[in-house]
Amino acid sequence: MELRPDKNESESETESLSISKLRVAREAIASLLSAAVTDERALTALDLRLSVPLSAVSAASTAVTGPLSAQLLSSRALHHRIDRSLTPSLSLLRSLSLSHRLHETLSHSPDAPLSPDRLIKFIDRVDRLQSAIADVAAGVEPAIGRLQETVEFLSRTKATDQFRIRRLGETLNAIRALYEAEVDAMQYEGMLDDALVKLQDEFERILAKIRHRGVGDEVDDGDLGEDTKPILGSDAEVDALRRIVQTLAANDCLDISIDIYVKVRYRCAAKALMRLNPEYLKTYSPEEIDGMQWETLEFAITLWIQHFNLALNSVFVAEKQLCSRVLSPLMDSQLWPECFAKIADKIMAVFFRFGEGVARSSREPQKLFKLLDMFDALDRIRHHFMSVFDGDSGSDICVRFRELLKLVVHASSKVFWEFGLQIEGLQDGVPPPPDGSVPKIVRYAVNYLKFLSSESYSAAMGRVLRTEQVWKAGVLSRPDPEDSVLRDAMSNILDALQRNVEAKRARYKDKVLPHIFAMNSYWYIYMRTKGSELGKLVGEESIKRKYKTAAEEAAYSYQAQAWGKVVDLLDSDEDAVTKSNELQGKEAAGVLARVKIESFMKSFEENLRKHKTSYCIPDPDLKEQIKGAVAKLVVPSYASFLQANAPVLQGRSLVPPDTLKGLLRKLFDGMIGGNMSGELVRRPTPSEGEVSRRRRFKDLGGSDNGRLA
């Protein structure tokens, strides 16, 4: 309702005219009473003059006393009726006089904002003015009714002349016109209307003055204890606001006061949150979010979580408390929460919109961790959120909160399961590393799962998977514990990773590379999961049984394929050499030994070249173990061959076993360069008995110290 402006001078003149008309009517009635008194005195004098002995005038007395007594009774009844008719009019005049004085007092109030004390006094005067105007409105009808009865009585009894009756009728019509026109103007226009407008301005000014302190100065997670909950407004400000609302409500302006309250407090809450500079909230559609740089999106989600918590715990908790302190004494328990819900609805919609956009955007693996951050934050404040926006008024906000939580749960679980499907799908898509090193998918997947199984995310991931399981199976189902669900899910991803490794392993054409690739990959999986939260979750024994064993088998196959065939070129026993010496002579045995040693050295140099240019063992510990195993396989066999054929190889320049061992050491240490054949330094064959013949592969037994057995 809009209050109309006052025209002070016109109202004053109209009010003065009405009072004048009432005074004229009062004078007419007084004149009538005076005439009646005069008649009464005349009758009394006549009665004295006519006093004669009763015995002489008894007959005349009887004839005259009857009419005179009747006239006296009529005069007294008229006097009583006139007095009774004037009582409401006098009360009306007193109310009009009070309203006029209050009108004059309020008209001198300053236009500038009022201090708290002056504002309370101003409100008191407005309340008194409203009460006075209400008394005027309530007193006009009785006054008119009593005067109407008096005029009708005089006209019916002919107690006065027609002139006076006409004057009384005119006065009655004037009072009726005042009631029909002026009382409504007093209620809805004039000084009361101006005073109510000023109260509305003061109401808006005080509400705008109450601001959220500290919001935006330091962004935290918004978790506030009971003793640190923000309180808006001082007791004096809240009392003034409550008094203003009470006065406005008494003058049919409750809707206006509610509109002002919602508009101003929404603006204050929005400004407080805008100090956080939430520019990221302008980007909310899934397509726009997909177009953001990952670092930008990651930072935006982090800010969203912080700002969401701060908006709930700092801004809206304080707004609800202020709304309750100001409005709840004047409204029922359903109306004032609606005002608070209107304040929060638009702001929360902006936060919900961004969260929904993130949940509906593309399901890239790296988004899982930020989605889990969102889920954990929403899940932790869920009960508090429902208590802040409780009741029917906050039901729409709570419904949208639950929908956002569901979206985040679905998005998180889908990202996780699709990550496993992506690992499966990469079997035929990305070729294996050409040097047999650990592929990117293995590195990424293992570190991804390790990070996911850390203390920061394992609990949230378990709750997400278990919640998804409950939703699919129904609330009456008996879902597995969270750790069991997460353990099975992690094991499935690792199994998919193992299938990926085996599929890539089969794509190599080189006979040695598949074993190097598998050895590197499984060793990487085992060493990165051993002793980690992922290893504890899936099971250390399970990890060891699957991946350490697989790495050891690949290492055995690598030694057999890469170095076993080189050693096989020296394969000749002493009996064969002795028999050859007896049948063909020493020279033929020397030729056979030289052919074998040349074949061995050629194959050895080729192996060195391939290892230098085509093979890679990136893990230092694994490389050290392989270096030792290969040295124990090759060097003793080479030394045994030299010792067995020493008689026929004497005097020839051969590579000493120590040099061979040094070449292997440099190879695996990554220090070999240039032409391999140029690195070989030959020396005379060692004498017989210098080394013992030894040839066997390294045993691949189990151990728990992170080393190939």
pLDDT, tens digit (0-9, with 9 covering 90-100), for 516-525: 999 999 999 9
Sorting pLDDT into bands at 50, 70 and 90, what band is 330? confident
Encode pLDDT of 151-160 as tens digits. 776 676 666 6
CA–CA gap between residue 558 and residue 517 (Å, rounded): 10
Encode pLDDT of 600-636 as tens digits. 888 888 888 888 888 888 888 998 999 889 888 888 8
CA–CA gap between residue 591 and residue 660 (Å, rounded): 22
Q: Which of 122-126, 320-324, 488-492 has the lowest mean pLDDT?
A: 122-126
Cβ atoms of 524 and 550 closer than 8 Å:
no
What was the pLDDT predicted at 399? 95
Question: Which two structure tokens, joined as six digits, stand for 310?
Answer: 């701060």
| pLDDT above 50: residue 368 | yes
CA–CA gap between residue 213 and residue 282 (Å, rounded): 25
What was the pLDDT predicted at 80? 63
What was the pLDDT predicted at 701? 32
**C-alpha 321 chain-centroid distance:** 19
- Mean pLDDT for all residues in the chain: 77
Mean local confidence (pLDDT), 83-110: 60
Question: Which two structure tokens, joined as six digits, stand for 140?
Answer: 């006009």
CA–CA gap between residue 315 and residue 327 (Å, rounded): 18
What was the pLDDT predicted at 342? 93
DSSP label of 228: G
| pLDDT above 90: residue 316 | yes
| pLDDT above 50: residue 2 | no
Place of tokens 């998005």: 411
Mean local confidence (pLDDT), 221-235: 62
| pLDDT above 80: residue 315 | yes
Question: Which two structure tokens, joined as six digits, stand for 255?
Answer: 């809707």
Please indicate whether residue 140 or residue 535 has the higher confidence score (pLDDT).
Answer: 535
Q: How far is CA 371 from CA 362, 384, 402, 485, 657, in A?
A: 12, 21, 15, 19, 60
Q: 515: Cβ–Cβ under 8 A, 6 or more apart, which residues?
A: 554, 555, 557, 558, 561, 562
Please indicate whether residue 347 or residue 677 has the higher confidence score (pLDDT).
Answer: 347
CA–CA gap between residue 392 and residue 253 (Å, rounded): 25
Identify which of 3-17, 531-545, 656-670 has the greatest average pLDDT. Answer: 531-545
Please indicate whether residue 138 or residue 590 has the higher confidence score (pLDDT).
Answer: 590
Place of tokens 């309020």: 106
∠ CA(563), CA(565), CA(569), 5° rounding?
115
3-state secondary structure 433-479: CCCCCCCHHHHHHHHHHHHHCCCCCHHHHHHHHHHHHHHHHCCCCCC
What was the pLDDT predicted at 112? 62
Side-chain half-sphere CA neighbours of 148 within 13 A? 10
- In the three-class reduction of DSSP (H, G, I as helix; E, B as strand; rest coil), residue 684 is classed as strand
The dihedral over CA atoms of 624, 625, 626, 629, expressed in degrees to the nearest 10, equals: 120
What was the pLDDT predicted at 54? 43
| pLDDT above 50: residue 224 | no
3-state secondary structure 537-595: HHCHHHHHHHHHHHHHHHHHHHHHHHHHHHHHCCCCCHHHHHHHHHHHCHHHHHHHHHH
Which stretches of 325-432 are assigned E, i.e. beta strand?
none
Number of helices and strands in the chain (H, E): 28, 2
| pLDDT above 50: residue 558 | yes
DSSP label of 312: I
What was the pLDDT predicted at 55? 46
Mean local confidence (pLDDT), 140-144: 67
What was the pLDDT predicted at 5? 47
Place of tokens 């004497």: 650
How is 333-396 classified by DSSP, letter by letter?
TTHHHHHHHHHHHHHHHHHHHHHHHHHHS---TTHHHHHHHHHHHHHHHHHHHHHHT-TTTTHH
Q: Which of 51-60, 96-105, 265-274, 688-697 has the lowest mean pLDDT?
A: 688-697
What was the pLDDT predicted at 42? 75
Question: Which two structure tokens, joined as six digits, stand for 194?
Answer: 């101006």
Q: Which of 165-169, 224-228, 338-342 has the lowest mean pLDDT?
A: 224-228
